[in-house]
Structure 1
Amino acid sequence: MLIQSRTESTGDITISNEVLEVISSIAVLETKSVHSLNNTLASGTIEKFGKKYRAKGIRVEDVEGDLKISVYVNLSDDRNVHSIAETIQDNIKTAVNNMLEINISEINIHIVNIIK
């Protein structure tokens, strides 16, 4: 699935959703108090077939031109959950915008577990 496609004077630029998933996962894992990303159904299935899936816990959707990212995350228990979720949203938005100059319409954070 193609997320972003632009036509420049020298040709087309196409960015797949896997690239956005990897950039987002790196931004999430660099956030303080994030324990880990949680497997989604797709990432768990891919890993069962022996392929390494670097963006587990991230789902990118392109809905009528609006880019939506869902993050499934496990947190450590030493901070304010709401504050961590907002920091994750800011980190993803900054990383994607800095690397790809793409605006994201929604970043949804799903706290799956708090690890003690």
Structure 2
Amino acid sequence: MVLLVFYTDWCRFSQSVLVVFEQLASIISKQYPDPGIVVLGKINCNDEKRLVNTKENFIIGYYPTIKVASYGKVLKRDYRGRRTMENFVKLIEKCLEDPNFDLRDTHSWQ
């Protein structure tokens, strides 16, 4: 399972989610110590322009954008739920349980 955050340096919402992602990395590395089970990545859209907004790559319309790949496939929907530690942990657990997990279900998480 891969969780990617696409961000920019100038976006304050991006900076907030990056803090949560750093904390999440610490928790996830303890919860899933085997390499490759859960991968967290962050992509600075200013520095990595070749990765975003081309037909061959990721289409990013807002910052931060959170994409999920589960069992080798990038899910069509972006994660739009609350960007809290608890919700990210729950998202990871759900995606590992069910490869067909629907990200629309995350909207109701409190």
Q: TM-score, normalised to structure 2's length?
A: 0.29
Larger relative strand fraction = 1
TM normalised by structure 1 equals 0.28
- Higher relative contact order, structure no. (Cα contacts within 8 Å, ≥ 6 residues apart): 2
